[in-house]
Homo-oligomer: A and B are copies of this chain.
Amino acid sequence: MTPATTPATSYVVAIDVGGTGMKGGLVTDDGEIALHRHRPTDRAAPVAGVRAFAAELAALGAAHFGHGPRAAGLAVPGLVEDGVARYSATLGWRDVPAAEFCDLDVPVALGHDVHAAGLAEAEHAPERDFLLLPIGTSIAGAMVLRGRPYASTLAGQIGHIPVWPDGEACPCGQRGCLAAYASAGAIAARYGTPGAAEVARAVAAGEPRAGAVWARAVEALALALATYTLILDPAAIVIGGGLARSGDLLLAPLRDRLAARLAFRDPPALRASALGTRAGVLGAAMLTRG
């Protein structure tokens, strides 16, 4: 007689590397985050920092599940191509192969953070055509077209479309970019606070100067999203990243202004991401599916 056995739970180590913090998790093959940790990004040695975090999570996994992970999934910012982190302006690396981020003895999948978040969002969104727009330090878009993430190294640069040509200078070298008005970083800088959360609080309290900065960000987003809508006709636009936490303070006026910018067609549905900042870790885990 064969003894009854419980099959071992298969899981992966998943890390979403951001400019200031790293989110990590142990994600089971049915998409549950069994354990979640947060670490600051080591700006001086970011690659070694990811490697140490991966080792820590794998040790936690061995203790929790009684065995090691089947793979590791890493979502990183910047330019990613063929499993190599080509370039990140924020973190300063160039041409780092996946294996350098992780010395566990398992397959390592490396992908772009916004693309990874889009993979996770696509599993939860009912629409086959949508844009996920995470708004944080910067702005980039993950596009899902006909049910499939549209991945391309240089596509989805929605943060850098010119909303007011010849407007604000953007660190990217262009002028009038969406991100120069509406990224969390730009909103904070324009108001003069360390973060956008302080601006949101001031807006909610009725502070006029904060209201003006916020309205300008909303109008920039309305212009960019009207443009995206006219080109690709999405069924929904999903706002993610830190700024999505301000909820209707952002979404209500943005819905109005997007509708006002579209004369001959209805706007798509506009909502905050249901996954929130978990999208990055879940997406990093999905990268390991190959």
Q: Which residues of A contact B (CB under 8 A)?
A: 129, 141, 143, 145, 150, 152-158, 160-165, 172-174, 219, 223, 226-228, 230-233, 261-265
Q: How far is the CA of A75 from the CA of B152 in the complex (A)?
A: 32
A231 contact from B129, B161, B164, B173, Cβ within 8 A: B161
Q: How far is the CA of A141 from the CA of B227 in the complex (A)?
A: 13
* Cβ–Cβ contact B155 & A263, under 8 A: no
A232 contact from B155, B165, B172, B264, Cβ within 8 A: B155
Grouping DSSP codes into helix (H, G, I), strand (E, B) and loop, the A interface class, with mixed when no group exceeds half, is: loop
A227 contact from B145, B172, B227, B233, Cβ within 8 A: B227
* Cβ–Cβ contact A231 & B155, under 8 A: yes
Q: How far is the CA of A142 from the CA of B154 in the complex (A)?
A: 20
Closest 3 CB pairs of A and B: A173-B263, A155-B233, A157-B230
* Cβ–Cβ contact B233 & A231, under 8 A: no
Q: How far is the CA of A154 from the CA of B233 in the complex (A)?
A: 6
* Cβ–Cβ contact B165 & A223, under 8 A: yes
Q: How far is the CA of A164 from the CA of B230 in the complex (A)?
A: 15
Knowing A264-B172, A265-B154 touch, does A226 contact B145 (C-beta < 8 A)?
no
Give the distance to chain B from A277, nearest Cβ to Cβ, in Å. Answer: 24
Give the distance to chain B from A78, nearest Cβ to Cβ, in Å. Answer: 12
Q: How far is the CA of A263 from the CA of B158 in the complex (A)?
A: 14
